[in-house]
Homo-oligomer: A and B are copies of this chain.
Amino acid sequence: ITVYDQENFQGKRLEFTSACQNIMECSVDNIRSLKVECGAWAGYEHSSFCGQQFVLERGEYPHWESWSGSNAYHIERMMSFRPICSANHKESKMVLFERENFIGRQWEINDDYPSLQAMGWSNNEIGSMQVQSGAWVCYQFPGYRGYQYIMECDRHGGEYKHYREWGSHAQSFQVQSLRRIQQ
């Protein structure tokens, strides 16, 4: 991943092949554009992999809006990032549960769903999730929009039993689309 401290791939330029816990330690005040050349990465609003999450797949991101997704909450910061090592587009498997703590109706998936409701899921929430292989990204709204929650088989033992475990910015069970992360 190559990051820049100005928009449109301008300003100070830094290349990374592994995690960066705090971009300020590299004398950069914020990341304002980036290019992913290899692998899949998770970007975070705050240092130490906290705050809003952004899934970053191969390609060019010239400004904050290009990776953030569309949120009313609009703070243009990305301070840490790390590779998503378990991303495996072909071999991804996850079980969704209607309610928290892995109870209620369940559904095993291995494909992308731009609308969970179109595929028969009854409401706009998921209670809990078990990632059996690969890495996934869940979104608040249909069509891969809104807050992003990255779920990996090799973190938390792949178990996400309540929205409080989805990330430090998750504030509800709302998930209306989800997909495998590609690398």
Q: Specify which of A69, A70, A143, A146 lies most central, judged by the most chain B CB atoms within 10 Å of its CB.
A: A143
A63 engages B72 (CB within 8 Å): yes
* Those of A121-171 within 8 Å (CB) of chain B: 124, 137, 140-146
What is the number of residues of chain A that contact chain B, defined by CB distance less than 8 Å? 40
Question: Shortest distance in angstroms between A172's beta carbon and chain B's nearest beta carbon?
Answer: 12
Question: Shortest distance in angstroms between A55's beta carbon and chain B's nearest beta carbon?
Answer: 6
Pick the residue among B70, B118, B181, B182 that contacts A69 (CB under 8 A): B70
B65 engages A146 (CB within 8 Å): yes
Task: Return chain B residues, CB-CB under 8 Å to A179.
Answer: 112, 114
What does the 1/0 interface line of A84-114 toward B look like (CB < 8 Å)? 0000000000000000000000000000111
